[in-house]
């Protein structure tokens, strides 16, 4: 059971710690909204990682031929989704910036906590790097000593908790960033920078 716990923690941190487009979007979203929304979005990412962890321990090598042909469509879907989010984020930031200058009043939060959860859940499920990572776990997990149900459950829970802890740390960083950049101009520049980073990371998926 200890081996399953350690393997799950390593798997969860292994996919969560490299900050890619999803992580950058999570930080930016929390910075321009609230910690509550960031926490929900972070749990959406962790839920997707948990889903793939379940697939990794339950699917076996039989899933490899099924996953391989889907990699290219998932990659392009992810590119389009991330680019769209970047454009939407930049457009919304510009609109809010000039709207505040004209109206001189605060606007409502652009996204609800539930929508943040579903949005990051879907984005992570479509992230080809996540699919490839857990597909490798599917193949690498096939050994002579097949783990039992308890070990598989421990692996999945550990992977979810590891991913959740890291994503919540990113959300906390986004909240601190949002508090540090309280001015309208600071939030605009942060959002535009984040959108640019997300576009670059999305384009990197095409290579």
Q: In 3-state terms, what secondary structure has residue 35?
A: helix
With pLDDT > 70 as the criterion, what percentage of the chain qualifies?
65
Our measurement of the distance from residue 10's CA atom to the centroid of its chain's CA atoms, rounded to an integer in Å, reads: 17
Task: Please give the Cα distance from 204 to 129 (Å, whole number).
Answer: 11
Our measurement of the distance from residue 169's CA atom to the centroid of its chain's CA atoms, rounded to an integer in Å, reads: 13
Write out the residue range of the structural domain in which residue 177 sits. 2-204
Q: Which of 86-90, 147-151, 160-164 has the highest mean pLDDT?
A: 160-164
Give the number of domains in the chain: 1
Residue 46 banded pLDDT, cuts 50, 70, 90: very high
pLDDT confidence of residue 56: 72
The pLDDT of 17-21, averaged and rounded, is 67
Are the C-beta atoms of 51 and 137 separated by less than 8 Å? no
Total residues found in the chain within this entry: 207
Residue 42 banded pLDDT, cuts 50, 70, 90: very high
With pLDDT > 90 as the criterion, what percentage of the chain qualifies?
13
Are the C-beta atoms of 24 and 89 separated by less than 8 Å? no
Res. 170: pLDDT tops 80: yes
Which helix H or strand E contains 33, and what residues bound it?
none
Q: Across the chain, what does the average pLDDT equal?
A: 75
Task: Please give the Cα distance from 143 to 81 (Å, whole number).
Answer: 36
pLDDT in tens, 72-97: 776 777 677 767 877 877 887 788 77
The pTM assigned to this predicted structure is 0.68
Residue 104 banded pLDDT, cuts 50, 70, 90: very low
Complete DSSP assignment for 137-156:
HHHHT--SS---HHHHHHHH
pLDDT confidence of residue 71: 66
* Residue 89 buriedness (CB in 10 A; 0-12 / 13-18 / 19+): buried
Q: What is the torsional sign of CA 155, 156, 161, 162?
A: positive
CA-based nearest residue to 25, from 92, 74, 71: 92
Task: Please give the Cα distance from 94 to 66 (Å, whole number).
Answer: 42
Res. 103: pLDDT tops 70: no
Res. 144: pLDDT tops 90: no
pLDDT confidence of residue 43: 96
Res. 66: pLDDT tops 90: no
Are the C-beta atoms of 155 and 9 separated by less than 8 Å? no
Residue 37 banded pLDDT, cuts 50, 70, 90: very high
- φ/ψ of 174, rounded to 5, equals -65, -40
């Amino acid at each position: 059971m200890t081996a399953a716990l350690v393997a799950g923690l390593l798997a969860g941190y292994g996919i969560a710690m490299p900050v890619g487009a999803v992580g950058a979007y999570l930080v930016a979203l929390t910075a321009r909204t609230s910690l509550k929304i960031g926490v929900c979005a972070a749990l959406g990412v962790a839920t997707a990682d948990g889903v793939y962890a379940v697939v990794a321990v339950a699917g076996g090598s039989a899933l490899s031929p099924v996953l391989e042909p889907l990699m290219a469509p998932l990659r392009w879907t992810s590119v389009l989704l991330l680019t769209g989010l970047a454009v939407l984020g930049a457009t919304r930031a510009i609109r809010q910036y000039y709207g505040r200058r004209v109206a001189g009043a605060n606007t409502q939060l652009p996204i609800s906590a539930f929508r943040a959860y579903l949005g990051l859940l879907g984005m992570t499920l479509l992230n080809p790097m996540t699919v490839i990572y857990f597909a490798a776990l599917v193949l690498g997990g096939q050994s002579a000593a097949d783990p039992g149900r308890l070990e598989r459950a421990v692996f999945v829970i550990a992977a979810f908790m590891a991913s959740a802890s890291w994503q919540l740390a990113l959300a906390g960083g986004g909240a601190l960033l949002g508090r540090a950049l309280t001015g309208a101009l600071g939030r605009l520049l942060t959002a535009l920078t984040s959108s640019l980073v997300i576009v670059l990371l999305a384009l990197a998926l095409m290579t």
